[in-house]
């Protein structure tokens, strides 16, 4: 049964060109919940994330995506964002010539439906950067140009906090981070997490889940969720590996 307020993924089938990748995946994320999806490379995790956000490379061939009972399956990415969806990309692109401050101010204006006063917004941005431990000069840099992996991820979390969506899809936000950067990113996610926000956290490893504790962990293999459980499932993966879990799930079918 669909909850009145949730990100609801119903029997989703996704293809890239002629290649089917995700096969009949269903999942419901309610505000206040943190769901983690783990799985090996090629299991369909990033395909799922991008398709949820409306990336044109991926086609939903069957199933539905609903936000608070509104069907967004065929909506454009900007309309999905206005409906309350956010994607932190695994590989955010460089955008020369566009400063972070201007990008975030215009993005916030589009999301909030009103032009943002530059002075007021600069104060808001400065406060968020201070909380994330980001140098003030960061705001004047061009988006991701010459950024380290850690800086790119911090910018993704800064966008998350400024845009304040209802549902956040975080695609391998911990990828390539050292321990200090991981803690900063995890603290930002924890600050965003609230009874009003749902989080879908996609990761390979258990280490970020030591800082951002999930309510549910789902193991994805071959384009399907093959097992779901609590936070201890991530520890089981760390001990036994994905192949054992997938093999046991296939045997149980």
Residue 247 pLDDT more than 70?
A: no
Residue 248 pLDDT more than 70?
A: no
Look at residue 104 and give its three-state secondary structure.
helix
Report the pLDDT value the prediction gives residue 132, as an integer from 0 to 100.
Answer: 85
Report the pLDDT value the prediction gives residue 249, as an integer from 0 to 100.
Answer: 59
Q: For 109-153, write each residue's pLDDT tens digit.
A: 999 989 999 999 999 999 999 988 888 899 999 999 988 888 888
Q: The whole model's pTM is what?
A: 0.92
Q: For 4-18, write each residue's pLDDT tens digit.
A: 789 999 999 999 999
Q: How many Cβ atoms from other residues are within 10 Å of residue 91's Cβ?
A: 11
Report the pLDDT value the prediction gives residue 61, as an integer from 0 to 100.
Answer: 97
Q: For 172-203, write each residue's pLDDT tens digit.
A: 888 878 888 888 889 999 999 999 999 999 99
Residue 62, domain CATH: 3.40.50.300
- Check: CB of residue 106 under 8 Å from CB of residue 71: no
Report if residue 2 sits inside a domain. no
Q: What is the DSSP letter of 138?
A: G
Average pLDDT over residues 152-173: 93
- Check: CB of residue 201 under 8 Å from CB of residue 230: no
Q: Half-sphere exposure of 128 toward its Cβ, with a 13 Å CA cutoff?
A: 26
Residue 204 pLDDT more than 60?
A: yes
Residue 26 pLDDT more than 60?
A: yes
Terminal C-alpha separation, the chain = 23
Report the pLDDT value the prediction gives residue 2, as an integer from 0 to 100.
Answer: 61
DSSP character string of 176-212: T--HHHHHHHHHHHHHH-STT-EEEEEES-SGGGGTS
Report if residue 123 sits inside a domain. yes
How many percent of the chain have pLDDT more than 90? 70
Look at residue 174 and give its three-state secondary structure.
coil
Alpha-helical segments (H) within the chain: 45-53, 77-82, 100-112, 118-132, 149-163, 179-192, 232-240, 242-252
Q: For the chain, what is the domain count?
A: 1
Write out the residue range of the structural domain in which residue 13 sits. 7-252
Report if residue 116 sits inside a domain. yes
**CA pair distance 138, 208, nearest whole angstrom:** 24
Report the pLDDT value the prediction gives residue 54, as an integer from 0 to 100.
Answer: 96
Report if residue 48 sits inside a domain. yes
**CA pair distance 7, 12, nearest whole angstrom:** 13
**DSSP 3-state percent helix, strand, coil across the chain (nearest 5):** 40, 30, 30
Report if residue 143 sits inside a domain. yes
Question: 109-130 burial by CB neighbour count: b if 16+ within 10 A, else e?
Answer: eebeeeebeeeebeebbeebbe
Report if residue 33 sits inside a domain. yes
**CA pair distance 170, 55, nearest whole angstrom:** 15
Q: For 50-98, write each residue's pLDDT tens digit.
A: 999 999 999 999 999 999 999 999 999 999 999 999 999 888 888 999 9
Least confident piece of the model among 31-35, 57-61, 104-108, 184-188? 184-188
Report if residue 23 sits inside a domain. yes
Report if residue 1 sits inside a domain. no
**Higher local confidence (pLDDT), 26 or 239:** 26
């Amino acid at each position: 049964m669909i909850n009145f307020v949730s990100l609801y993924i119903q029997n989703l089938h996704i293809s890239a060109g002629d290649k089917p990748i995700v096969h009949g995946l269903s999942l419901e994320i309610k505000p206040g919940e943190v769901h983690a999806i783990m799985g090996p490379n090629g299991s369909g995790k990033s395909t799922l994330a991008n398709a949820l956000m409306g990336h044109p490379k991926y086609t939903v061939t069957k199933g539905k995506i609903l936000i608070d009972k509104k069907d967004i399956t065929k909506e454009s990415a900007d309309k999905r964002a206005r409906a309350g969806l956010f994607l932190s990309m695994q590989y955010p692109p460089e955008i020369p010539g566009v400063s972070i401050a201007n990008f975030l101010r215009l993005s916030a204006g589009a999301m909030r439906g009103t032009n943002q006063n530059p002075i007021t917004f600069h104060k808001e941005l400065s406060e968020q950067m201070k909380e994330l431990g980001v140098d003030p000069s960061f705001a004047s840099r061009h988006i991701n140009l010459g950024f380290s992996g850690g800086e790119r991820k911090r910018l993704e979390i800064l966008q998350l906090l400024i845009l304040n969506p209802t549902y956040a899809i975080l695609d391998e936000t911990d990828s390539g981070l050292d321990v200090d950067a991981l803690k900063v990113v995890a603290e930002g996610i924890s600050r965003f997490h609230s009874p009003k926000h749902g989080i879908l956290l996609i990761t390979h490893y258990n280490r970020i889940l030591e800082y951002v504790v999930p309510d549910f962990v789902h193991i994805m293999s071959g384009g399907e969720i093959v097992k779901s459980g609590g936070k201890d499932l991530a520890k089981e993966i760390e001990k036994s590996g994905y192949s054992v879990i997938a093999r046991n799930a296939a045997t149980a079918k």
